[in-house]
Amino acid sequence: MKKIIFVDIPMKKMDETADRQCYAGTGNADCRYTGKVVFPINAVLAEKLHKDDRVKAVLLSTITGKDHSAENAELFKQELNLINAAIGAHIEYEWLATDFVESKANHETRFRKLLPLMEDGAELYADITFGQKTLPMVLMCAFHFAERFLDADIKKIIYGKVEFIKHADGRAYPENPELYDVTPPYYLNNLMGTMEAPNGTEALKALDAFFAL
């Protein structure tokens, strides 16, 4: 099976010790992987990857000239490769870097760079824990395109949450990890674009039916 993984790479320097979290049994992602990871998607992939899978991991990074994106991308690759050592899936990596500019032109650039990375009939995963705020919005548009026109299967969009707790040394450490499957809002947004109703009252009834599923 072809799997394409999109992961937002953080710009800040990651602490390989403090930032590793165990997400097993947290949130609503139904993840049982008991290892610790810096990148939440890797806890999911530890359970979803299979020996015969062909995997393309797309590392979405931001260019500022003063960030740690490159070393964080290497950290992601090391972490996933270590997990995959016991699985044996074939993994290739793509690095998609764009400027840290929130202009219409740059949104179009990101979107157009994302589309050629999609493949017919692929399973799509995304980790939107890190990265700038607008990148998930553009990524969801690309997912919608792939689902409609390339028969892609949107498997899981996840978000890892931590709380930063200040300790006696004055530093704040990430604790209380939670792993969330945020795929439902993606489908809710798709529904808003396709739903038809004669008025607001009927539209709300249609929404009630959707949320009752």
pLDDT per residue, tens digit, the chain (213 aa), is 899 999 999 999 998 888 999 999 999 999 999 999 999 999 999 999 999 999 999 999 988 878 899 999 999 999 999 999 999 999 999 999 988 888 899 999 999 999 999 999 999 999 999 988 899 999 999 999 999 999 999 999 999 999 999 999 988 889 999 999 999 999 988 888 888 889 999 989 888 888 887
Residue 182 buriedness (CB in 10 A; 0-12 / 13-18 / 19+):
middle
> CA angle at residue 131 from 113 to 85, to 5 degrees?
80
For the sheet containing 172-181, what is the strand order? 90-99, 54-63, 2-8, 123-127, 153-166, 172-181
Q: Report d(CA 40, CA 121) in Å as an integer.
A: 25
Q: Report d(CA 161, CA 131) in Å as an integer.
A: 14
Q: Report d(CA 114, CA 134) in Å as an integer.
A: 14
Q: Can you give the pTM of this predicted structure?
A: 0.93
